[in-house]
Structure formats: structure tokens, C-alpha cells
């Protein structure tokens, strides 16, 4: 058998090497995704522009607003400053899958019950931060909530409702309707 006949052509081999060098295999919402981007590409870009997962929002791009918050291994993380090559084998969770967790379900229901959302732009990030808090601290104090949510900015000023909703989800808040 002619050995040369079993070798890939030069263009195929070059493409194979390039894919090996540039493809990142990332666990997002329980599924593996192979993305062919430069290593310093922000996760936010990959989510929105490569994978079409647009629930995670772009706000400032410099870790100042919280709109881009996702979970990496359960921790609230700003995806705008998280490069794809830093993720490795960690698991990424986005707003699209937050309802799969018990804490995420409680937060989502409380957000609905308390009618938190105004324009909505910041709310993906708010929900991701609130869920990360409740997952590690099921009964947060006001100070805990302040600390966890301090990096999430809302131009519509939904902060009081966010606080009420987190307390409802935690089972520590006033009954719905007692707020106003
Ligand atoms: S877009 Fe990432 S913190 Fe503002
Ligand atoms: S709901 Fe409009 S920015 Fe927060």
C-alpha cells in the first residue's frame, strides 16, 4: 500500500493543526462547545457572537456594570473580562440555563412575583448574581445582599424590588403585596 496515499493533503493537515491550536472546548450549560477563536477573546463575545446566546448582555465591557454576569463553577463572573483560554475545564452557566437550578427557579419566580423588571437590560446579570448568592447563602442578610449585588448596576433603579425578590426567594421577606 502506498503510504503517501493515506496521508492527508497539505491544506487538510494545515487546517487540522490550526483547529488543534485555536479551538477551545468549553462546557456551557451542560453541553460542550468547540469554538475557534483567539485565546484572548472574551467569553461574552463567544456567547453572543459565536454561539448566539444573547441572554447575557454587553454593558460596559470593563467589569463595571454587571450586565454580562455568568457563573463559572457557580461563582458570579464578569464574562466581558474573562478570556476564553482562562476557562479550561470549568463549567459555565448562563441566564439561558439558570432555571435548571433550585435557587435559579426561586429567583426567577420571585422576579416575576415582585415585578422587578423595567427595561430589562441589566436583569440577566442581576439574576445571575442573585442566584449565585442564594446558592451559597440561602438566607442572606441585607449586608450580604448589598455585597453580592453591589457590582450590578440598574439604570432603571430597580434595587428595592431586587432586594424584595431576593428576600422572597430566600423565604425571609415580607409577604408579597406588603411592599407598597
Ligand atoms: S459588560 Fe461586563 S461588567 Fe459591564
Ligand atoms: S431594568 Fe433597566 S437597567 Fe435595570
The answer on 107 and 86 residing in a single domain is no
| pLDDT for the residue numbered 178 | 47
Reported residue count of the chain is 180
CA 12 to chain centre: 36
Q: Check pocket membership of 126 for ligand 2, CB cut-off 6 A.
A: no
Residue 6 lies in a domain: no
Kindly give the distance from the C-alpha atom of residue 67 to the centroid of ligand 1, in angstroms, as a whole number. Answer: 5
| pLDDT for the residue numbered 21 | 53
Residue 103 lies in a domain: yes
Kindly give the distance from the C-alpha atom of residue 137 to the centroid of ligand 1, in angstroms, as a whole number. Answer: 24
The answer on 139 and 89 residing in a single domain is no
**Which of 98, 150, 28 has its CA nearest to residue 140?**
150
- The structure's pTM equals 0.86
Q: Given the CA of residue 118, which atom of ligand 2 is nearest to it?
A: 1
Residue 108 lies in a domain: yes
Residue 19 lies in a domain: no
Angle (CA) 90-150-119 rounded to 5° is: 90
Q: Check pocket membership of 154 for ligand 2, CB cut-off 6 A.
A: yes
Written as tens digits, the pLDDT of the chain (180 aa) is 454 555 666 666 545 545 555 699 999 999 999 999 999 999 999 999 999 999 999 999 999 999 999 999 999 999 999 999 999 999 999 999 999 999 999 999 999 999 999 999 999 999 999 999 999 999 999 999 999 999 999 999 999 999 999 999 999 876 665 443
Rounded to whole angstroms, how far apart are CA atoms 178 and 176? 6
The answer on 109 and 156 residing in a single domain is yes
The answer on 159 and 115 residing in a single domain is yes
| Ligand 1 surroundings by CB, under 6 angstroms | 58-61, 63-68, 78, 80
The answer on 87 and 36 residing in a single domain is yes
Residue 165 lies in a domain: yes
Rounded to whole angstroms, how far apart are CA atoms 29 and 96? 8
Beta strands at 91-93 and 23-28: parallel, antiparallel or unpaired: parallel
Domain that holds residue 85: 24-93
Rounded to 10°, the helix 142-149/159-170 angle is 120
The answer on 88 and 119 residing in a single domain is no
Evaluated on CA atoms 139, 142, 144, 148, the torsion sign reads: positive
| pLDDT for the residue numbered 180 | 39
Q: Check pocket membership of 43 for ligand 2, CB cut-off 6 A.
A: no
Total tally of structural domains belonging to the chain: 2
DSSP E strand stretches across the chain? 23-28, 31-36, 69-72, 75-78, 91-93
Residue 4 lies in a domain: no
Q: Which of 93, 109, 131 is the last residue of a domain?
A: 93
Q: Given the CA of residue 156, which atom of ligand 2 is nearest to it?
A: 2
Residue 65 lies in a domain: yes
Rounded to whole angstroms, how far apart are CA atoms 18 and 50? 18
| Contact of 56 with 97, CB cutoff 8 Å | no
Q: Which ligand ends up closest to the CA of 77?
A: 1
The answer on 145 and 103 residing in a single domain is yes
Q: Which of 93, 113, 139 is the last residue of a domain?
A: 93
87 φ, ψ (degrees, to nearest 5): -85, -40
The answer on 38 and 60 residing in a single domain is yes
Q: Which of 58, 77, 93 is the last residue of a domain?
A: 93
The answer on 85 and 44 residing in a single domain is yes
Amino acid at each position: 500500500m502506498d503510504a503517501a496515499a493515506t496521508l492527508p493533503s497539505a491544506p487538510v493537515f494545515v487546517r487540522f493543526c490550526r483547529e488543534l491550536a485555536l479551538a477551545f472546548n468549553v462546557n456551557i450549560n451542560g453541553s460542550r462547545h468547540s469554538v475557534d477563536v483567539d485565546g484572548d477573546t472574551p467569553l461574552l463575545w463567544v456567547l453572543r457572537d459565536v454561539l448566539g446566546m444573547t441572554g447575557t448582555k454587553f454593558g460596559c465591557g470593563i467589569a463595571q456594570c454587571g450586565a454580562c454576569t455568568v457563573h463559572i463553577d457557580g461563582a458570579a463572573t464578569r464574562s466581558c473580562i474573562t478570556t476564553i483560554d482562562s476557562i479550561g475545564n470549568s463549567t459555565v452557566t448562563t441566564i439561558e440555563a439558570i432555571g435548571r437550578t433550585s435557587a435559579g427557579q426561586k429567583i426567577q419566580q420571585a422576579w416575576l412575583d415582585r415585578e422587578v423588571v423595567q427595561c430589562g437590560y441589566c436583569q440577566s446579570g442581576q439574576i445571575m448574581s442573585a442566584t449565585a448568592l442564594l446558592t451559597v447563602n440561602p438566607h442572606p442578610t441585607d449586608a450580604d445582599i448589598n455585597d453580592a449585588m453591589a457590582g450590578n448596576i440598574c439604570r432603571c433603579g430597580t434595587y428595592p424590588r431586587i432586594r424584595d425578590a431576593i428576600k422572597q426567594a430566600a423565604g425571609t421577606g415580607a409577604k408579597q403585596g406588603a411592599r407598597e
